[in-house]
Amino acid sequence: MNVKGTKKKNQAVTANIFGQQELLKKAEVFRESLTASTWHELETNGKFDKNKKLSFISDDMLILGCDVGSEIHYMRAIDTRGRELSKSAFPFDNDSEGFQSAKEWAVKIAAEHNKSQIVLGLEPTGKFHSNIPTEIIKRALKPIINNYDYVLIDCPPNMGLITLNGLRISDAYIIPAIPDVLSTYGIPQIVNRVSEFSENIGEDIDCLGIVATKVRGQSSLHSRTIDVLKREKDAHFFSTIFYENNQMGEAAECIEVNTLRQKWGYQGQFDRFDSFVMEIMEMTEG
């Protein structure tokens, strides 16, 4: 009989039980302290200025992203740096029991990672062909859009309502793509779908082209795919290429910098942005 091994196993089980009990206590305290607020309720005098938006984000936040379906919804949890804290998407039904299970799931993750706030973002999934829901951004920007020479709208990689809102107000669009097979496979479908949407609303939306991003210089696959994209007729291919770089990925962090070179890095990243902007201006103004 392995007495020593059994003793260690019992100690591990006991420690695990105490750990679970402690986690349940933390979750219960967090659950009791939860209060719900909408973004409108959190606004100051009806407006969040830039500094207040930045100061609002803190490391004690658990960010929940939820894809809203008709019957089943899917939720993921990340921290403020974009690191995923959930092992996989959490599915839940569109009823009171489903939403309660989603709440308990989120509270447990918050307790596990010592988060004291939860921020929930929702995005509808599916196809949307009605013009009315695609007017949201257009109506919001109408009073101020003529004050700017260029307005950039970053859209998710799908043709859902958020992307259609961005396209509705756009004169043109750009397709960023990692130069591999899976990332570029759907480009013809994107061009065709935007063309259909353009005809549907009666407005021209030009495809300015494809820009290669997160390119690995030593990858033969990336080099071959770029050569293919240059020859394809679906869309123009920009000559500026953005290579994979840690500072490019970290640029989204809310860190104060003095110059754009400091923000993007000193290995030519800023020069590539400058070159890319010049390409766009030549196409739109030339």
Report if residue 85 sits inside a domain: yes
For residue 37, pLDDT over 60 is answered with yes
Residues 118 and 194 in one domain: no
For residue 109, pLDDT over 50 is answered with yes
**Domain finish residue from 91, 124, 157:** 124
pLDDT at 113: 84
User: Which conformational region is residue 201 in: left (phi greater than 0), alpha (psi within -120 to 50 degrees), or beta?
Assistant: alpha
* More reliable by pLDDT, 55 or 237: 237
For residue 20, pLDDT over 70 is answered with no
Kindly write down the DSSP assignment for every residue of 128-178, as one continuous string. Answer: ---SGGGGHHHHHHTTTGGG-S-------SS-SHHHHHHHHT-SEEEEEE-
For residue 2, pLDDT over 60 is answered with no
What's the mean pLDDT in 43-70? 69
- The CATH number that applies at residue 248 is 3.40.50.300
pLDDT at 15: 45
**Domain finish residue from 109, 124, 139:** 124
Tens digits of residue pLDDT in 72-108: 888 888 888 778 888 788 999 988 899 989 988 988 8
In terms of residue numbers, what domain contains 179? 171-285
42 Cβ contact list (under 8 Å, min separation 6)? 48, 56
Report if residue 200 sits inside a domain: yes
Q: Give the mean pLDDT of the chain.
A: 80
pLDDT at 204: 93
Q: At what angle do helices 187-201 and 161-168 cross, to 10 degrees?
A: 60
pLDDT at 44: 52
Q: Report yes or no: 191 and 174 within 8 Å, Cβ to Cβ.
A: no
Q: Report yes or no: 177 and 187 within 8 Å, Cβ to Cβ.
A: yes
Residues 117 and 179 in one domain: no
Report if residue 148 sits inside a domain: no
Residues 87 and 179 in one domain: no
14 Cβ contact list (under 8 Å, min separation 6)? none
Rounded distance, CA 150 to CA 147, Å? 9
What total number of domains does the chain contain? Answer: 2
Structure-token pair, residue 51: 């500094």
What pLDDT band is residue 39 in, cutting at 50, 70 and 90?
low
Residues 177 and 240 in one domain: yes
pLDDT at 22: 67
Tens digits of residue pLDDT in 203-258: 999 999 999 999 998 999 999 999 999 988 889 999 999 998 877 777 667 777 78
For residue 136, pLDDT over 60 is answered with yes
Residues 113 and 188 in one domain: no
Question: Hey, CA dihedral for 76, 79, 81, 84, is it positive or negative?
Answer: negative
Structure-token pair, residue 139: 């109506």
pLDDT at 112: 86
Residues 119 and 194 in one domain: no
Tens digits of residue pLDDT in 189-203: 999 999 999 998 889
Sheet holding 117-124, edge to edge: 90-93, 72-78, 61-68, 117-124
Residues 100 and 175 in one domain: no
Report if residue 216 sits inside a domain: yes
Report if residue 210 sits inside a domain: yes
pLDDT at 95: 87
Residues 100 and 182 in one domain: no
What pLDDT band is residue 43 in, cutting at 50, 70 and 90?
low
Report if residue 48 sits inside a domain: no
Report if residue 232 sits inside a domain: yes
Report if residue 103 sits inside a domain: yes
Rounded distance, CA 178 to CA 216, Å? 9
pLDDT at 128: 41
pLDDT at 129: 41
What's the mean pLDDT in 32-55? 60
3-state secondary structure 140-152: HHCCCHHHCCCCC
Tens digits of residue pLDDT in 167-193: 999 999 999 999 998 889 889 999 999
Q: Give, as one character, the DSSP assignment of residue 84.
A: B
Report pTM.
Answer: 0.53
Residues 272 and 202 in one domain: yes
Closest C-alpha to 61, from 27, 98, 93, 109: 109
Q: At what angle do helices 3-33 and 96-112 cross, to 10 degrees?
A: 120
pLDDT at 11: 46
**Domain finish residue from 124, 154, 181:** 124
